[in-house]
């Protein structure tokens, strides 16, 4: 068992697709929360293989896409400081702020480094005691355990030159926002399996009860995706409202408790603006006050940030499942991966970039 090829078996995928076709009797709209799933669905062309009754709408689960413009502009301002080494996941470098991106800050002399893991940023801080090392800690629940560990490790190592610029978001509040919207179209959810690997799924029953939508915890391989879709269709057709764990090899009800504990030690809930969507109450995590010493927002005064979003971009509506990338007048014209107007065109998880790249 290698946990990869087994779940890319074309024959098995075909078999599950056939089951979906046999099961579906009428139109259903379901949302895959996670941008990684959007990417896989489009990359493997799974959307083309589904019966026409099933519409997949793409959710807001792309941390790069939803990081608010204000926070990106703040990152750009910090990264441009001569005393700073700014570290980030590769995804963030091309995301446009109001006027520029991290690549252009680097081209203008700012020191911007891509890291694979937040612990690499801690190492950079250890190796550069005369520089301030800032890590752009973005992400959903999946990335939180890593990001909080970097803060904890910096604290344990007594590093005075390490701080994090936090822009953390959580899935359940976003689902509340989507389902509670009067224009909601989503009838079932594919939950983001790796979020659940960390958080379990004990947070989801209240959502289920309140909004009466079935959910399937779904993985990322083609077989996982069709299985998640099949479970959701089955529930929808039978009128069942449940949570099915279609990613059992990776997800338990309780989730990863040591990780949850560490997150709670370092982070606390806060309101968070989602780019293109707006502020969702209690939808984010930020550093607890006892970690102020590691908070880049407190350490660097970059003045008032005035943001300016492209008036053409409809990323917010796309991420709420209200519109598809084609509905945007700028898609493929003024807006492409080389010249993105909004973050959904930048991140490979972004619905617009996935549609553009794979020619939808």
Number of other residues whose CB lies within 10 A of the CB of residue 329? 9
User: Does 289 engage in binding with other proteins (CB under 8 A)?
Assistant: no
15-23, 159-167, 204-212, 291-299 -> range binding other proteins (CB under 8 A): 15-23
**Shortest distance in whole angstroms from residue 249 CB to other proteins:** 4
Select the residue interacting with other proteins from 58, 74, 94, 299 (CB under 8 A).
94
Nearest CB to other proteins, comparing residues 11 and 130: 11
Name residue 272's beta-bridge partners: 280
Nearest CB to other proteins, comparing residues 253 and 298: 253
Q: Is 166 helix (H, G, I), strand (E, B) or coil?
A: strand
In the shown chain, the binding pattern of residues 58 to 87 toward other proteins, with x for contact by CB under 8 A and - for none, equals ---xxxx-----------------------
Nearest CB to other proteins, comparing residues 63 and 316: 63
Q: Are strands 267-274 and 132-139 parallel, antiparallel or unpaired?
A: unpaired
Number of other residues whose CB lies within 10 A of the CB of residue 7? 18
Distance CA 198, CA 252 (A): 9
User: Does 283 engage in binding with other proteins (CB under 8 A)?
Assistant: no
- Give the C-alpha distances (Å, rounded to integers) separating 47 from 23, 111, 192, 219: 17, 41, 17, 16
Residues 181-220 that bind other proteins (CB under 8 A): 192-195, 197-198, 220
Distance CA 204, CA 289 (A): 28
- Do 81 and 56 contact (CB within 8 A), yes or no? no
> How many residues line the site for other proteins (CB under 8 A)?
84
Residues 108-167 that bind other proteins (CB under 8 A): 113-114, 116-120, 139-140, 142-143, 145-146, 149, 153, 156-157
**Shortest distance in whole angstroms from residue 244 CB to other proteins:** 12
**Shortest distance in whole angstroms from residue 303 CB to other proteins:** 29
**Shortest distance in whole angstroms from residue 214 CB to other proteins:** 19
Nearest CB to other proteins, comparing residues 127 and 212: 127
User: Does 253 engage in binding with other proteins (CB under 8 A)?
Assistant: no
Select the residue interacting with other proteins from 24, 30, 31, 46 (CB under 8 A).
46
Nearest CB to other proteins, comparing residues 47 and 53: 47
List all residues 6 or more positions away from 202 whose beta carbon is below 8 Å from its beta carbon.
Answer: 253, 254, 255
Nearest CB to other proteins, comparing residues 107 and 300: 107
User: Does 100 engage in binding with other proteins (CB under 8 A)?
Assistant: no
Q: What's CA 75's distance to the chain center, in Å?
A: 18
- Name the nearest CA neighbour of 119 among 98, 94, 95, 143: 143
User: Does 285 engage in binding with other proteins (CB under 8 A)?
Assistant: no
Nearest CB to other proteins, comparing residues 19 and 131: 19
Q: What's CA 201's distance to the chain center, in Å?
A: 17
Distance CA 87, CA 81 (A): 13
Nearest CB to other proteins, comparing residues 182 and 260: 260
Number of other residues whose CB lies within 10 A of the CB of residue 312? 14
List all residues 6 or more positions away from 138 whose beta carbon is below 8 Å from its beta carbon.
Answer: 63, 64, 67, 89, 92, 166, 167, 168
User: Does 231 engage in binding with other proteins (CB under 8 A)?
Assistant: no
List all residues 6 or more positions away from 171 whose beta carbon is below 8 Å from its beta carbon.
Answer: 33, 61, 140, 141, 191, 192, 195, 199
77-85, 264-272, 305-313, 349-357 -> range binding other proteins (CB under 8 A): 349-357
Select the residue interacting with other proteins from 163, 167, 232, 256 (CB under 8 A).
256
Nearest CB to other proteins, comparing residues 2 and 26: 2
């Amino acid at each position: 068992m290698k946990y990869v090829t087994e779940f890319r078996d074309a024959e098995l995928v075909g078999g599950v697709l056939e089951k979906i076709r046999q099961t579906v009797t009428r139109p259903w709209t379901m949302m895959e929360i996670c941008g990684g799933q959007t990417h896989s669905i489009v990359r493997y062309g799974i959307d083309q293989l589904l019966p026409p009754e099933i519409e997949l709408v793409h959710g807001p689960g792309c941390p790069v896409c939803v990081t608010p413009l204000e926070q990106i502009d703040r990152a750009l301002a910090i990264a441009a400081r001569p005393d700073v080494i700014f570290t980030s996941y590769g995804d963030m470098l091309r995301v446009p702020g109001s006027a520029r991106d991290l690549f252009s800050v680097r081209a203008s002399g700012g020191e911007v480094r891509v890291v694979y893991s937040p612990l690499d940023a801690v190492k950079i801080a250890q190796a550069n005691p005369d520089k301030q090392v800032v890590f752009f800690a973005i992400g959903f629940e999946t990335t939180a355990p890593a990001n909080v560990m970097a803060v904890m490790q910096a604290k344990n190592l007594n590093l005075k030159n390490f701080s994090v610029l936090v822009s953390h978001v959580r899935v359940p509040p976003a689902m509340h926002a989507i389902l509670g919207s009067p224009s909601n179209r989503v009838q079932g959810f594919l939950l983001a399996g790796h979020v659940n690997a960390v958080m379990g799924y004990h947070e989801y029953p209240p959502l289920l009860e309140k909004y009466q939508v079935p959910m399937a915890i779904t993985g990322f391989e083609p077989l996982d995706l069709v299985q998640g879709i099949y479970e959701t269709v089955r529930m929808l057709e039978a009128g069942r409202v449940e949570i099915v764990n279609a990613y059992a090899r990776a997800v338990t009800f309780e989730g990863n408790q040591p990780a949850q504990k560490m997150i709670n030690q370092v982070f606390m809930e806060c309101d968070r603006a989602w780019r293109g969507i707006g502020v969702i109450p209690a939808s984010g995590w930020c550093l607890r006050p006892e970690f102020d010493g590691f908070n880049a927002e407190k350490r660097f005064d970059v003045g008032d940030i005035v943001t300016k979003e492209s008036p053409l971009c409809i990323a917010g509506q796309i991420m709420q499942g209200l519109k598809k990338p084609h509905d945007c007048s700028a898609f493929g014209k003024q807006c492409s991966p080389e010249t993105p107007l909004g973050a959904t065109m930048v991140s490979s998880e972004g619905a617009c970039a996935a549609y553009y790249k794979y020619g939808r």
